[in-house]
Structure 1
Amino acid sequence: MGAHVVFADSQTVVKFGRSRSLKGGIHPYIVMSYERGESLAQYWDRVSKPEQNRILQQSQEDYMNQMREIPDNFIGGLDESPCRDGIFEADNGDYTCYSYGPYASEESFNEGIIQALRDRMRPKVLERENDTESNFFNSEYMLYQTVRGLKNHKIVFTHGDLHPGNIVVWADGTVVLLDWGLAGFWPENWEFYRALFNPPWRASWDRMVEKFIPPFYVEHSVLKRVFGTVWN
């Protein structure tokens, strides 16, 4: 995204770069701790099965369980900023140029997803959306109704980008999560969807995920279809 990362000292790094999201396009910076460790993908292949299970258990107990006990009453970024996800970025790609949310409820969040689906279409195309004989818009309508069926989920603190590259292990076996740039408050099913979003580094990752993140397979299937539709 055009950012630069430099060491301030042996334990601190600074990320900086011009930001169009801030008034005047000023140069913000983020100061972060440097976590020296081994990526989960590398660590996994050289340790025993009991150690692999310990890593998953620690990820669940020290991160997931505690994070999901932090609720809020909106869906969006930590600072009540708009929702950032590929679902809302079709034909855009620059998250500083769009605004979906924050949302006050899961119901309004679902309507935001539906709006993102509609926004991908040109106004001329949308003129036909009430044509009940249109196979395309009947399919769209059914997808909208399916999205509206996602309900009764708690809103919880969510990392939002848990893949093996963002999970490292210290020399003493401590698990550390990196890259909290997509963290925020989302429906409780969102973490599972996002953890399965990227192509897995190995086939078994899909089954690993449910051992430390509560699984929501139906919701994952719906959101995966939404993403594929938005970007088709």
Structure 2
Amino acid sequence: MGFNQPQIDPSSREEHRDFPLDGIDLEKVPNKQLVDLYSTGPVLYSCGDSRLVRLSHTLVLKGGDSVHPCEAENMKFAATYTQIRVPKVHRVFSSRLDGDYHDTWFIVMDYVLGCTVEDNWKVLSETTRDEVTSQVAGMVEQMQSISLNHMRPGPIGGGAPFQGPWFSDTCGNGSGPFDTLQEMEDWLNHKLDTRLRLWRNASGDTPRFEFKDTRMVFTHQDIAPRNLILDPSGRLWLIDWAYAGVYPEGFEQSAIPKQQVRDDTFSKLVLSKLSCSYPKEDLQLEMVYG
């Protein structure tokens, strides 16, 4: 298997089997037992330094070096201030895995039964594709209706590197955290200047980042078919809030095409249904991406 290719244990999706914590009250399960299950339980999804393990028919455990408590805060914020369907967070804690010299963060959350849009995209009818992308556009519009200029930029709760296509470096560690918009602006302009020096064919007229009068909104930054689940009732859920937080308007729209690996049909449909486009941000992201 190639580097950073997702690993999945098919048995983790078998609904007729037993899982480790079926019938057990989570409140009575110590963190140590959860950490043991992180290493031994059926893997729903594992890629890079993040792993999602099935605990029971209703619960999953996410952990890894790229997991931070702000991901749970992002999910709680979305559940509180939007109508977007988000897995409920039940517990957030840190612990040290055997052989490690640092703590790892873990999040216990609801398991969402269903299939990802990515797994079903090729077989979805045009009508269903239209319905799904309309729902996704509605999610974006909901998030962007919340003005958050009173909050500090970045992940809700802070304390973690800024992640996503605007911030990821070659090692995938993001950067920051930044305490102010000015700090974020300075860092992005430094990254832009660096790219312009390195890329001889780069456009020198790429606009610089200026956030003084920018409207800040809640942003997911990883809206892709792999992070959208259609449950048995046909309802759409948005998962994986690791990149989310408070960012300038336009960051979401410009990030959506960058998160599509195999097929850009999804992103084109979503973007066509949004009320605003951001060509300046598109050009800036093209320059600083990666």
TM-score interval, smaller chain: 0.7 to 0.9
Q: Percent identity?
A: 21
Match of 1:90 in 2: 169
Matched to 1:78, the amino acid is: I
Residue 36, structure 1, aligned to residue 97, structure 2 = no
Gapped regions of structure 2 (runs ≥ 5): 1-47, 69-93, 96-100
Aligned residue among 40, 52, 64 for 1:5: 52
Matched, 1:45 2:122: yes
**What do residues 131-174 of structure 1 show as CA deviations (whole Å, max 9, x unaligned)?**
xxxx96xx79744xx12367743210011101111112112211
Q: Give the match's secondary structure for 2:104.
A: coil
In 2, Cα distance between equivalents of 1:34 and 1:20: 17
Structure 2 contact 217–249 (Cα < 8 Å) conserved: yes
Shift of 1:205: 2.8
Deviation of residue 30 (structure 1)? 0.6
Q: State the AA in 2 paired with 1:56.
A: T
Shift of 1:36: 1.8
Instruction: Quote the residue 1:166 is aligned against.
Output: 227
Equivalent position amino acid for 1:45 in 2: K
Correspondence for 1:189: 250
- Compared with structure 1, are the counterparts of its residues 64 and 103 closer, same or farther at alpha carbon in structure 2 (3 Å cutoff)? same
Please tell me the residue identity of whatever aligns with 2:169.
Answer: A
Q: Find runs of 4+ consecutive structure 1 residues off by over 6 angstroms.
A: 19-24
Q: Distance in 1 between matches of 2:57 and 2:108?
A: 13
Q: Note if 1:226 corresponds to 2:264.
A: no
C-alpha distance in structure 1 between counterparts of 2:212 and 2:154, whole Å: 17
Q: Does 1:80 align with 2:158?
A: yes
1:221: how far off? 1.9
For residues 59 and 19 of structure 1, what CA distance do their matches in structure 2 show?
A: 25
Task: Determine the structure 2 residue equivalent to 1:130.
Answer: none
Partners of 2:57 and 2:189 lie apart in 1 by 46
Q: TM-score when scaled to structure 1?
A: 0.72
Q: Is the 8 A contact 1:83 1:102 kept in 2?
A: no
Q: Closer, same or farther in 2 for the Cα pair 1:80/1:36, shift >3 Å?
A: same
Paired letter, 1:84: Q
Does the aligned pair in 2 maintain the 1:77–1:102 contact within 8 Å? Answer: no
Work out the CA distance in 1 between the residues paired with 2:120 and 2:67.
38
Work out the CA distance in 2 between the residues paired with 1:91 and 1:33.
32
Query: What CA distance in whole angstroms lies between the structure 2 residues aligned with 1:173 and 1:49?
Result: 15
- Alignment-derived partner of residue 131 in structure 1: none
SS in 2 for 1:57: helix
Report the Cα distance in structure 2 between the residues aligned to 1:36 and 1:150, rounded to whole angstroms. Answer: 40
Alpha-carbon distance in structure 2 between the residues aligned to 1:65 and 1:89: 25
Provide the residue aligned with 2:24 in structure 1. Answer: none
TM-score (norm 2): 0.60
Q: Is the 8 A contact 1:19 1:25 kept in 2?
A: no
Q: What is the match of residue 216 of structure 1?
A: 278
